[in-house]
Structure 1
Amino acid sequence: MSMKPLEFDRRYGELDQVISAYLGEAADDEPDKPSLALQAYLRHTWHTRPWALGTAEQQLREYARNPPGRLRQRLGEFDPVPDVGVPDSGIQNWLLQLADHIKRSIEEGQVPPLATPETHWEWRVRFPELAQFFGGWFSQDMPDEFTEHDAAVDDYAATTDRQLIARAVGELHELLALDLEDIDYALALAELGMEVEPPAPLSPADWLALIADRLRDVQVDYGTPQDS
């Protein structure tokens, strides 16, 4: 019988978050230097859910010391650790090393400064609604579904809960506050799921600012009292 979601979260939920940060990234942690993936996890978690760090450290150690056996794997009692390129013989030491890094970060108060995301995972967890927006409305199929970029934005605004639209506006302003070069904004859009170019002749930053204004106007319209 598969493990119930609540039981899984209690045992492995935060461990799963740590491991997810490694998908597509090198698990090249060293005793004196966490990998890029773990740095991204620490940075995001310190600034959004600092209380989860202690849980992550505990779950990593518990899993490393008492890994589920093959029978429990076949029975589906837990989700196995995804393949991150670490050989089976090295998984235990690697997990304990991650726990040591997290413990050191907590005990020494090593709060990473806010910075531009450095991994695909970090882009998507920092800007979740933009990942939904760009990945859902600006995939490679966008030209077949909409006549122009503005039509896609209007469709998002018309079919999305206003609270999520407000979240997208906030994330757009946060993205613009990174003050990146155009090439870096283009890369950011790709990380967030966009598969088409911004409309010419606008730069990525100018287009993002235009979308923010357009969606903010939608919020203003929602908040305008109707005439009786």
Structure 2
Amino acid sequence: MRAYLGQPADDTSEQRSRALDAYLRHTWHTRPWAIAEAERQLREYSRNPPGRLRIGLGEFYAVPDTGMPQSAVGDWLLVLADHLKRSIEEGVDEFPGHEAAVADYAATTDPQLTARLVGELHELLALPLDEADYALAAAELGMEVAPPEPFSYGAWFQSVATGLARG
């Protein structure tokens, strides 16, 4: 619920809000198990809103003032719960595609770290590895996605290194 402080609660059954996207992005990286608990709590909260005592005890977060009528809050919480359930079942994409993820990395990462990554990608590509080795290296380094079509791992690593080096 804290993700909505100062943010619009404009979630619909088809579209997540920026606040919910931010919550999911952060929580998937820090404590993914909490998403299922949040889904359960949202469903329980929508059916049986807790009183001040239960909120005060920390059993539930207070729902921020969303500007919506109190009668609509329960339905909104169910929309959020449904989004969390879909995220658990399908995962969550932080970016619409590979190019957007690389562009975000380039825009938000210190240039020295970006230069270091470019160097490390060139070092990796200089090793006598085949595509299976590149795929294994990607998995060992924590990459959880396959390269975009039509790239192989090696070709994608080269493309990323070239793009980041151009700035």
Q: TM-score range by the shorter chain?
A: 0.5 to 0.7
Residues 138-158 of structure 1, C-alpha deviation per residue, up to 9 Å, x if partnerless?
xxxxxxxxxxxxxxxxxxxxx
Distance (whole Å) between structure 1 residues aligned to residue 19 and residue 54 of structure 2: 27
Distance 1:111 1:180 in 2: 19
The offset of 1:78, in angstroms, is: 1.9
Which residue pairs with 1:178 in the alignment? Answer: 105
Cross-structure match for 2:46: 64
Which ranges of structure 2 fall in alignment gaps of 5 or more residues? 57-61, 98-103, 114-167
Name the counterpart of 2:3.
Answer: 21
Task: Measure the CA separation in 1 of the matches of 2:54 and 2:13.
Answer: 32
- Whether 1:31 and 2:9 are equivalent positions in the alignment is no
* Matched-pair identity in %: 53
Q: TM-score, normalization: structure 2?
A: 0.53
Q: What does the per-residue CA deviation read over 1:136-181, in whole Å, with 9 as the maximum and x for residues that have no partner?
A: xxxxxxxxxxxxxxxxxxxxxxxxxxxxxxxxxxxxxxxxx93327
Whether 1:87 and 2:69 are equivalent positions in the alignment is: yes
Secondary structure of residue in 2 paired with 1:105: helix
Work out the CA distance in 2 between the residues paired with 1:109 and 1:81: 25
Contact 2:25 2:92 in 1 (8 A): no
SS of the equivalent of 1:110 reads coil
* Partner AA of 2:6 in structure 1: G
Question: Do 2:39 and 2:81's aligned partners in 1 also have CA atoms closer than 8 Å?
Answer: yes
Write the distance in 2 (CA, Å) between the matches of 1:88 and 1:67. 11
CA, structure 1 residues 47+111, in 2 after alignment: closer, same or farther (shift >3 Å)?
A: farther
Q: Give, in whole Å, the separation in 2 of the partners of 1:77 and 1:56.
A: 16
CA distance in 1 between counterparts of 2:42 and 2:105 reads 33
Distance 1:84 1:35 in 2: 12
Deviation at 1:111, TM superposition (A): 4.4
Extract unaligned runs of 5+ from structure 1: 1-18, 116-176, 186-204, 210-228
Question: Is 1:78–2:55 an aligned residue pair?
Answer: yes
Asked if structure 1 preserves the Cα contact closer than 8 Å seen for 2:35 and 2:88, the reply is yes
What is the aligned-residue RMSD (CA, Å)? 2.9
Count of residue correspondences: 102
Instruction: Identify the residue that residue 201 of structure 1 maps to in structure 2.
Output: none
- Provide the C-alpha distance between the structure 2 equivalents of 1:31 and 1:63, rounded to a whole number of angstroms: 18
Q: Cα offset for 1:21?
A: 0.3
Question: What are the residue-to-residue correspondences of 1:174-213 with 2, within 5 Å?
Answer: 178-180=105-107
**Conserved? CA contact 1:46–1:112, under 8 Å:** no
